[in-house]
Structure 1
Amino acid sequence: MAGDAGDESSPLLGSGTCQRCHQPLCPDPQPSSAKSSIRSGHSSDGKSKATTFQLSSESTPLLAHRGSEGIRYMEDRDDSYPPSREPSPDPSSKKGKKWIARPSSIALIGLIVAVLTVLGVGFASPTIVKQYGGQAAVYETTGLSIESFTADGLQARVQGSFLLDASRVASGPLRDFGRLGTWLAKEIESDRAEVQVSLPEYGNVLLGTATLPPIKVNIRNGHMNKIDFVTDVKAGDVAGVRVVANDWLQGRLGQLRVKGVASVPLRSGIFYLGSQAISGSFVFQDKGLHGSPKLNITKLDLHEGKAPNHEKAMVADISVQAMNRYPISLAVPPMGFRILVPNCSPTDDYIRVANATTDLIQVVPNNTVTISAKGFIGKLPDALTTICPGTNSSPLDLLVERFIQGLESMVYVRGGKPPSPTLPNWIEGFLKNVTIPVPFSGHALGQLVRNFSMTDVHFSLPEPFAEPDTPEVKPKISALVKAIIDLPKEMNFALNIPHVRSTAKIYHKGRELGFIDVRKWQNANATRIEDGTPPSSALLVEFDIQKAPLQVTDEDTFTDVVQALIFQREPVPLYVQATVDAETDTALGQFVIRDIPASGNITVKPPASGGFADLKIGLGALEILRTTESSILLDASLNFTNPTNYSANVPYVNLKMAYNGTNVGDVTARNLSIYPGFNSDIKISGLWDPLRLGGKDGVAAGQDLLSHYISGLNTSIVLKSHKGMLPSLPKLGSALSKLELDIPVPKLRAPGNGDQNPGGDGQSHFIKDATLHLWSSTAVFTLVSPLTSTTLLITSINAAAFYNHSEPVGKIKYDLPFAVPPGVSQTPRLPVDLDLTGAGYEAIRQALGGTLKMDAVADVGVQLGEYSNTVFYKGKGIGAKVRI
C-alpha cells in the first residue's frame, strides 16, 4: 500500500536487524527503504526528553526491543545521522521511560501516539518525496493535555514540532532529489481525517477514533514547524479495553502492540495529492514496571463521621502521590470508587468494605501528582466477619493477622458511583469493571505494645484428689493485666475493648517455664491516655485473668524459680510472651481482632525479703484430736503476716516437719487461703510422731524441741516438701522435693492479758508465776496451758530454783500426778527443800511480803491422753511471791 508506514504484517523486531542498534544488516541500504521512529529518551542531566517522530518503511521494526530497558516507542538509530544531530548517549536513558499512569492511560497514550504516527507518515507521503521523507522526518512531542471529557470520549490538545532533516538520508541521490522536491513543493497540508486505533493481539479491539483537523507544514529541509492542534477522541470498545487494563494491572501484560489506520487527504499548494491510506503500529513495552503505579501515602487520618447517606461511619482522609513521567497534563474530575478486600478463597468474590471519592486531580507533565480522597466505612458486612470453612479465621482475621505481623496485604479499588452527575457514562462504565490491586503494608503491633505487666497475682493449687489429665489438676493463676499500646497518629476515633482472652508463655532466663491459657472471655477496659516522652496517644488496656490454668512445661526451670524465691530470697525476673484476642467496639460495630502479640517483663518478689521471721507467725488455739503412746494428732490456728503482694488458694498441702535434721512430724493444710497482709485464724493440722518418723534420733529430737518450746526459747523447725505433698501433682511435688522452709515456732500465748511475764525477758513461759510459803516450805505455781480443750497431766517434777541465775534457792521433787486444765491454773502445794546456807536464802528473807525474781530448771514428766514423755524446762525471771 503506497504511503503505508506499517501494517499488521510488519515485524515488531526485524529478523535482519542488528541486536545492538537495530539497523538493517545490509551494508548498502536500498534507496527505497525509508525509515522512521518516535524516539523517547533522556537528556544528559537525567530529565525527560521530548518524543521524536521519524518515518519508517514497511520492513522497519516499529519498536526497538531492549529487553527490560523500559518503554521505547518505535526507536531506531541511523548510522548516517550526523554527529551534530545525534543525541549524546546517556546511560540513564537506556532504562527508558517508566510508564506509571492510571489504567485509562492505556487507551489515552495508545490513541495519541497512534495519531502522531499517522500524522507524521501522512506529511511525508507524497509520491515524489515518500522515500526521502521516510528517513528525514523528525517529530517531537512537547505537550499532551486532556482539554475535557465528552459524552463519548475526550478532547486532547497536542503540541510538538516537525521538520525534515536531509542529513539523515543515507543515499546521496535520494537526498538530493528529496531536497529539490520538497523545496519546490514547500508546504503540504492535510484535510480533516479520522484515525482508528486497534489492538491486534486482542482481536483488533477498537481502542478509539481520533479526528484530526487540517494541518499545514513547511517541508523544506531544516524548517522547524510548530504544531498545536485539538483532536476529538471517541472511545471505542470500552469492554475490550477493560480486559487490557485488567491484564496490565494484574501484571500479565509485558508489552502491548497498538495499530493506527487512517485515510488522509493531502495537497501541496494548488495540487491535490489524493487521499492517502496510511497505517502504522508501535509497541509499548515495560517489563520492569508494568502493573499498578507506585503510590506514596502522604496523609492518612481515621476518625468517626457521617457517610453521604448521613449514617454513622468511619471516615478516612487520605492523600497519595504518584509520579507522572510523561508530557501529559489533564484535570481528572471527582470520581467514586469501591474498596474491596479478599474473601476466604481466591476464587470467591471480593468483599466491599468502603466507598471512596476523589477530589479534582491535576496531572502536570513530568511531575508529582497528588490524589486526595475520602473513604467511608459503614457497618462491616457479615461476609467479612464470618469464619471461613475449615478454619478458625474470618477474612477480617486473615487481613488483620497479616497487618499486625508487618506483612503486605492486598486491597482492591474498583470504580463506583461518581459524586458528580457530569462525569461521562463511558468513564463510569469503564472504571466499574476495572479492578486495581493496591499493596497495603502492615505494621508489626509487637512494637506497639509499649508496656505489659501483671499485678495482684493470685495462685491457686489444684484440687488434691482431682482426676489426672483434667484442668482441675493444674495450678491456676489470677492477675490484673495492664498493657499500654501506642496508637498510630492516624487513629483519631474512639476504641473500646470490652472483652479479651489470651494465651501467654512464661520464660525464665530464656527457658520456657510454662504457659497460661485463658480461653474464656475476660472483662476488659480500655482508656485513651497520653503516655511516653514526649507524650503521645496510647491505649491503656486492663483486664482480669480469673483462675487461668498454669501448665508447667519445664520442671527443672520451675524448681530453679522456686529455689531462687525461697532459698536465695531473691526477686525472679520472668518474661511473658502473649497473644491476645480482643473484642472491639467502634463506629464500625463489634468484631474480634485475633492474635495480637504482646510481651513484657515481670518480676516476682520472694515470699519474704527478710526471711520467714517477717511472717510474724503467732500460735492461736491448740486442740488435741487423738493420741497414741508415741504420737499426737492436733489442730491449730495460726496468725501471720504475708509480706508479699501475692495471694494463693491451697486446697491441700502436706509438709514434713523436722528438727535438727530429723523428722518428728508433718503438717497438713486444707482449703488454705492466703492474702497479702495480715492473715488470721489459719487452720492447720499436725501429726507429732517422732518415733515412727525418726526412730531413736527422732525421740531425742522431739524431746529437745518440746523442751525449747515450753521453755519459751527461740525455736525453729524445718518444713520439707516431698513427692506426695500435692497428690494431684506428683511431678510438681518431685520438682519441689528439695524445698525446705525454715520457720520459727510460734511463742506460747496464754489466754487473758497477763500472758507476758511483766518485767521479765519478754518471753512467754509455761510457768507464769509462783508463791513461796516459808513457814510450810511449799510452793504453788501458776501454769499456762496452750491447749484449749484438753487437760494435760504432769506426772513428775524434779526442779531447782536459783537467785541471780546461780545462787541456789531450793529444790522440788514431786511424784504425784496432777492435772493442768486448759488456760491458767495452779498446782497443788509442792514441797520445797530450801537452801538455808547461801545468798539465795538471804534474798528470800529480804523479799518477805514482796516478790523475788528467780530462775528454774526442771525435768517434767507429762502425759497427754495415751502419749507420755519427759521434757526439760528452763525458765528465767519467774516472779515468786514470798509469804510466811
Structure 2
Amino acid sequence: MIDDPSAPLLGRAPTNSRDTSPHPSKQHREFGSSSFILSSESAPLLRHDDSRSISYGTEDQRRPSTSTSRSAVDSEDPPRRRRRPSWPINIAVSSLIAAVLLTLVFGFAAPSAVKQYAQEAAVFTPQKISIDSATSEGVSVRIQGEFLLDGSRVSGALIRSTGRFATWIAREVETSDAQVDVYLPEYDNVLLSRASLPAVKVNIREGHSNYINILADLQSGDVDGIRQVADKWMGGRLTQLRVQGTANVDIKSGILKFGSQIITADKVLDGQDIPHLPSISVTKLNVHENPWKPQDPGIAVEVAVNISNDYALSLVIPPLGFDIFVPNCIPTDPYILVADMTTNEVNVQPAEPAYVDVSGIVRHLPSELTEACPGKKDSPLDLIISGYLKGQKTIIYVRGADAPSSSTPAWMVDLLKSVTIPVPVTGHDFGQLIKNFSMSDVHFSLPDPFAEPGSPDAQPKVSAMVKVMVDLPEEMNFDVDIPRVRANVDVYYQGDKFGVLDLSEWQPSNATRINDTDGSRPLLLVTFEIKDGPLQVTDNDVFSEVVQSILFGSEPVNLDLQVLVDGELATTLGQFTVHDIPAQGSIDVKPPFGSSIGGLIKPKIETLEILHTTHSTVSLKATVNFTNPIPYSATIPYIDCLLLFNGTALAHVTGRSLSVVSGDNEGVSIEALWSPFASSGDTGVIRGRELLSSYVSGWNTTVTLQAHEGSIPTLPDIGRALSNIQFDIMVPHLGAPDDDDDDDNDKNGKPYFIKDATLHIWSSTAVFTLISPLSHSTLYINSIDATALYNHTEPIGRIDYTNFPFAVPPGISQTPKLPVTPELGGVGYDAVRKALGGTLLMDAKAEVGITLGEYSTTIFYQGKGIGAKIRI
C-alpha cells in the first residue's frame, strides 16, 4: 500500500486516501505551470483539456493535505502563468521518470485494454522538482508530485470500464528499482540521459491520489547528441523532437509477480511542448581597471544577470567558468573570444528568476576584433560599440570553460563546453551623447576657382577649434583617451538638411575626463582643431536662407548637427578605432549685426588704378580699407560680385586670394570691370551716368554688391543661392591728399570735385580747382555746359565749353580759363559785383563730358557752397 512504512521514498498518505473533490480532473488542471498530464502513449505528456466532472460512486475522495495546499496556492496564479507549458519539467524529468514509470507499471502486467486505459487515464502533477546534489556523473533529483487515474480521460467506453474494473481488483502495483534510458531516434539514436529510479508502490484505483516523493539519479548522455539538440533549440530551429524511453523493470501486484519487463515508450514533442528560451537581461554592467592585480593591464568586468525561471525547479548551481565570444564579420566566421568569466554559486528557487553575478577579466583585444572586415571600414568591435550606444540589442555568446572550483562536477563542465548560448545584451540609449558642441576661431575658405569640379578643393572649407562634451556611459569606469577623431556632419536648419561638413581626415585631439556641473555623471571633454574641412552644400535654397538669417536676422540661428564620429581610443587594453558612433549637437550662431551691414563695413578707397579701357568699359584695380563686423575670418581664393545701383547691374567686382580677418582690414586689393552697357544695356548706361554723377557731386551714394551664378566658378549652385543676399555699401566720398586743413573747401565735412573757383569779371572767365577721383590716371574733360547760381536759384553766369579737351591729372589741379557768359542785370550779377575782392558762395550745375583712355561718357554735376574768389 502507498502508506506502507516499508516504502521510504514515498510520501505517507493520510488515513483516508479518497479525494473529496467532486471534480478531480479539474482540480489537477489548476496546478498551472507546475503540472502536466499523462494522457496517452503517443502523447503521454500533453495536457488534457476535458472539463467534464467525474464521480467515483459514493466514496469520499480526499487528497493528501500537501497536494491540496499546493493546489490551492497554484490555483491563484495569474492566467498567463497557468497557461505556460512546463516543457523542461515534462521532458527532462517526467519523460524520464513519471511517464515511463507509470506507463510501464500497467503496460506489461495486464491485457492490452488495461494497458491502454492506464496510458490514457494516468495523471501526474509535479509539485516540486529540485536538484538534491551533484554527483560525478550527473545529479540527484528529488521529485514531488501527485499521481492518480482519471477514467474520464479514456475515450473508449469498453476500455474505460475494463480498466476501472481491473484497477479496482489489482488495487496496488509495485515496481522494482529501474534504469530508464532516453534516446533521440532522429539523431542516430544517441543517448540523451539515463535515470536510476527507486522502487515505487502506488494505489491504482481510479480517483485515488498518490503523493510521490522520490530521489532519482540522472546521468547525462552523449554530449555530442545533446549539443545538436541544444544548438537547434537555441537557434530557434527546433520545431519537433522525438524521444524514446527504454527500461527493464520488475513489476508485481500484491502476491502476483510479473517478472522482468523491457518497456519502451515514445513521445513526439512539437508546438507548445517545446519551451521558449529563458529571457536573460543584464541588470548591471561595470567596466573598470583590474582591482585585483594593478600590475595587470586588463579590464575588469562585473555583470549582474537576471534569468527567468517559469518552472517548479529548484537547484544550487556550483561555481562555473565561461568563455565570452562576440560575433565576427560574417555569421559563418568563428566567434571571437574576448574574455573569461566566472560565476559564484547560484541558488535557483521554483518559479522565481535566478540572479547570477558574473565577473571576469578582459586581458587584451584580439586583432580580429579590431581589424576592419573585408571590404568594409567597420570592425566587429565597431558594430558592437555603435549598437550598444544606440540602445540596440547585441548578441554575445557564452560557452562553458574550466570551472573555478574543484567541487564542480567534470560532466557539468564537459556539457557546458559543448554548448554555446546566445545572450542578448541591450545597450543604453544615451540620448544626446554630445552634451555640448561649440566652435571658436572660425575661419571660412571659399573654393579654389581652378579646382576640379566635385573635388574637396572645389568646396567651401571651414577651420575652427572644436570643443565637445561627451556624456560617458556610467558603466565606463576606466581611463580612456581619444588621440584622434574624424567625422561626417550633416547640418540642418529648421529640420531641413542643407550641407555636409566632411571631416574625414584624421584630426589630433585631446580628451580630459571631468564631472558634470552637478557631479552626477562623468564627462569627457574632447578638443580638436578642424583644418579646411570641406562643406558640401546640398540644398541651395536652405543655405541661402541660413546666410540671410545670420547676416540680417536679430535672433540666434540654430543649426542642428547629425554626426557620425570615428574615434581612435587609447585604453589599458591598447589602441583601437571605433567607427560611426552617432552623436547629435547644435550650434547657435548669433547674428553680429542687423540689416545695417553696409554701414558697419565702412569701406575707404586708398588707391585706384586704371588698368585698361575700351569705348564702353573700364578695368581698374583698387586698394580698399574696410571693417569686417563678423566674428569670423575667411580665405577667398576667388569671388566675383555684381555692383548694382538702384537695382541695375553696372560692373563686376572681383577679389583674388583675399584673406579677410575679423575687425579692420587694410590694403585689400580688388579688381573691377566697369561695363554698364554689357551688364544692363541702355538702362545700365543711364544708371552708370547717375552713379558717377552722384559720386562726383559728393552725395551720399549707396551701391549694392550681389553674388551671382558665376561668383564661384566651381560652385554655380552656391552662387545662385547667395544671389538672394545683397550688401548695401556707402560709397566713400571723394577726397584729396592735402585738403584736410582747408576749412573753406569742406564746409560740411565733404570734399567736392570742384574745390574752389576764381571768377575774373573783366575777362569774363573762370578758373576752377579740381580734385581728381583718380590717384594714378589722368582723365580729360571734353565739354562743359554749366550754370553758376547764387542763393541756390539766382543765375550768375553760364559756361559753354567745347573747344579743346583739358587734362585733370591725379590730385589737385586747375582748369584753363573757361569763358563765362554773365547774367547781367540779375540778382546774381549784383551779388558778384558786391563781392569783388572777396569770396562768394555759389552753387553749380553742369553736364560734363569726360574721357578716360578710350572710354567716354557724360556726367551731371551739382555742387553747393563752392567758394568763388571774385577778381577784376
Q: Is this a same-fold pair by TM over 0.5? A: yes
Q: 1:114 aligns with which of 85, 96, 114?
A: 96
- What's the CA shift string for 1:88-119, capped at 9, x where partnerless? 99995998543587xxx89xx62564233455
- 1:191-206 aligned within 5 A: 192-206=177-191
Paired amino acid for 1:110: A
Residue in structure 2 matched with residue 522 of structure 1 by the alignment: 507
Please tell me whether residue 351 in structure 1 is matched to residue 324 in structure 2.
no
- 1:553-592 aligned within 5 A: 553=538, 577-592=562-577
Task: Give the SS at the match of 2:448.
Answer: coil
- How far the C-alpha of 1:858 sits from its partner, in A, is 5.5
- How far the C-alpha of 1:331 sits from its partner, in A, is 0.8
Structure 2-normalised TM-score? 0.76
Task: Give the SS at the match of 1:243.
Answer: helix
Please tell me whether residue 154 in structure 1 is matched to residue 127 in structure 2.
no
Task: Give the SS at the match of 2:364.
Answer: coil
- 1:454-603 aligned within 5 A: 458-468=443-453, 470-478=455-463, 487-505=472-490, 513=498, 515-524=500-509, 543-553=528-538, 577-598=562-583
- Of the structure 1 ranges 560-569 and 619-628, higher mean CA displacement relative to structure 2 is found in 560-569
- How far the C-alpha of 1:324 sits from its partner, in A, is 2.0
- How far the C-alpha of 1:318 sits from its partner, in A, is 2.5
- What's the CA shift string for 1:436-484, capped at 9, x where partnerless? 1233446677865667777766443333344455444444444566666
- How far the C-alpha of 1:768 sits from its partner, in A, is 5.3
Task: Give the SS at the match of 2:143.
Answer: strand
Paired amino acid for 2:423: V
CA distance in 2, matches of 1:558, 1:220: 90
- What's the CA shift string for 1:708-747, capped at 9, x where partnerless? 2122211123445555444444565566677765433222
Q: 1:765 aligns with which of 752, 755, 758?
A: 752
Is the Cα–Cα contact under 8 Å of residues 114 and 280 in structure 1 kept in the other structure?
Answer: no
Task: Give the SS at the match of 1:708.
Answer: helix
- 1:261-300 aligned within 5 A: 261-264=246-249, 273=257, 276-277=260-261, 279-281=263-265, 283=267, 285=269, 287-288=271-272, 290=275, 292-300=277-285
Please tell me whether residue 642 in structure 1 is matched to residue 634 in structure 2.
no
Residue in structure 2 matched with residue 63 of structure 1 by the alignment: 43
CA distance in 2, matches of 1:696, 1:197: 105
Is the Cα–Cα contact under 8 Å of residues 808 and 835 in structure 1 kept in the other structure?
Answer: no
Paired amino acid for 1:651: P
CA distance in 1, matches of 2:721, 2:858: 39
Q: Which runs of 5+ in 2 are unaligned?
A: 1-23, 64-70
Paired amino acid for 2:97: V
CA distance in 2, matches of 1:585, 1:722: 49
Q: Which runs of 5+ in 1 are unaligned?
A: 1-38, 65-71
Is the Cα–Cα contact under 8 Å of residues 33 and 85 in structure 2 kept in the other structure?
Answer: no
- How far the C-alpha of 1:624 sits from its partner, in A, is 3.2
Please tell me whether residue 245 in structure 1 is matched to residue 230 in structure 2.
yes
- 1:570-719 aligned within 5 A: 577-598=562-583, 609-611=594-596, 612-627=598-613, 631-659=617-645, 664-689=650-675, 701-719=687-705
- Of the structure 1 ranges 367-376 and 496-505, higher mean CA displacement relative to structure 2 is found in 496-505
Residue in structure 1 matched with residue 351 of structure 2 by the alignment: 366
- How far the C-alpha of 1:766 sits from its partner, in A, is 3.6
Q: 1:387 aligns with which of 352, 372, 375?
A: 372
CA distance in 2, matches of 1:864, 1:177: 135
- Of the structure 1 ranges 603-612 and 830-839, higher mean CA displacement relative to structure 2 is found in 830-839
CA distance in 2, matches of 1:738, 1:80: 88
Is the Cα–Cα contact under 8 Å of residues 253 and 290 in structure 1 kept in the other structure?
Answer: no
Is the Cα–Cα contact under 8 Å of residues 777 and 834 in structure 1 kept in the other structure?
Answer: no
Paired amino acid for 2:344: D
- What's the CA shift string for 1:464-519, capped at 9, x where partnerless? 34445544444444456666665554444445444333344556677764544443
Is the Cα–Cα contact under 8 Å of residues 412 and 438 in structure 1 kept in the other structure?
Answer: yes
Task: Give the SS at the match of 1:765.
Answer: coil
Distance 1:261 1:630, change over 3 A: closer
Residue in structure 2 matched with residue 411 of structure 1 by the alignment: 396
Is the Cα–Cα contact under 8 Å of residues 453 and 600 in structure 1 kept in the other structure?
Answer: no
Paired amino acid for 2:366: P
- How far the C-alpha of 1:651 sits from its partner, in A, is 2.1
Residue in structure 2 matched with residue 746 of structure 1 by the alignment: 732
Distance 1:99 1:876, change over 3 A: farther
Task: Give the SS at the match of 1:423.
Answer: coil
Task: Give the SS at the match of 1:201.
Answer: coil
Is the Cα–Cα contact under 8 Å of residues 757 and 765 in structure 1 kept in the other structure?
Answer: no
- How many percent identity over aligned positions? 45
Residue-pair matches, total: 823
Is the Cα–Cα contact under 8 Å of residues 810 and 834 in structure 1 kept in the other structure?
Answer: yes
Task: Give the SS at the match of 2:271.
Answer: coil
- How far the C-alpha of 1:426 sits from its partner, in A, is 1.2
CA distance in 2, matches of 1:40, 1:484: 67
Distance 1:490 1:752, change over 3 A: farther
Task: Give the SS at the match of 2:225.
Answer: helix
- Of the structure 1 ranges 811-820 and 382-391, higher mean CA displacement relative to structure 2 is found in 811-820
- What's the CA shift string for 1:377-410, capped at 9, x where partnerless? 3432111233333444433344456556665443
CA distance in 1, matches of 2:690, 2:651: 14
Distance 1:290 1:590, change over 3 A: farther
Task: Give the SS at the match of 1:421.
Answer: coil
CA distance in 1, matches of 2:549, 2:492: 15
Is the Cα–Cα contact under 8 Å of residues 121 and 278 in structure 1 kept in the other structure?
Answer: no
- How far the C-alpha of 1:206 sits from its partner, in A, is 2.8
Structure 1-normalised TM-score? 0.75
- How far the C-alpha of 1:329 sits from its partner, in A, is 0.9
- Of the structure 1 ranges 196-205 and 119-128, higher mean CA displacement relative to structure 2 is found in 119-128
Distance 1:205 1:674, change over 3 A: same
Residue in structure 2 matched with residue 301 of structure 1 by the alignment: 286
Is the Cα–Cα contact under 8 Å of residues 34 and 86 in structure 2 kept in the other structure?
Answer: no
CA distance in 1, matches of 2:307, 2:475: 21
- Of the structure 1 ranges 707-716 and 596-605, higher mean CA displacement relative to structure 2 is found in 596-605
- How far the C-alpha of 1:61 sits from its partner, in A, is 2.0
- What's the CA shift string for 1:519-566, capped at 9, x where partnerless? 322344556667799976665655554334444555666667778888
- How far the C-alpha of 1:363 sits from its partner, in A, is 0.8
Task: Give the SS at the match of 2:505.
Answer: strand
Is the Cα–Cα contact under 8 Å of residues 509 and 527 in structure 2 kept in the other structure?
Answer: yes
Task: Give the SS at the match of 1:644.
Answer: coil
Task: Give the SS at the match of 1:300.
Answer: strand
Is the Cα–Cα contact under 8 Å of residues 146 and 155 in structure 1 kept in the other structure?
Answer: yes
Paired amino acid for 2:698: G
Paired amino acid for 1:82: S
CA distance in 1, matches of 2:552, 2:100: 94
Paired amino acid for 1:669: G
Residue in structure 2 matched with residue 141 of structure 1 by the alignment: 126
Q: 2:85 aligns with which of 98, 102, 107?
A: 98
Is the Cα–Cα contact under 8 Å of residues 585 and 591 in structure 1 kept in the other structure?
Answer: yes
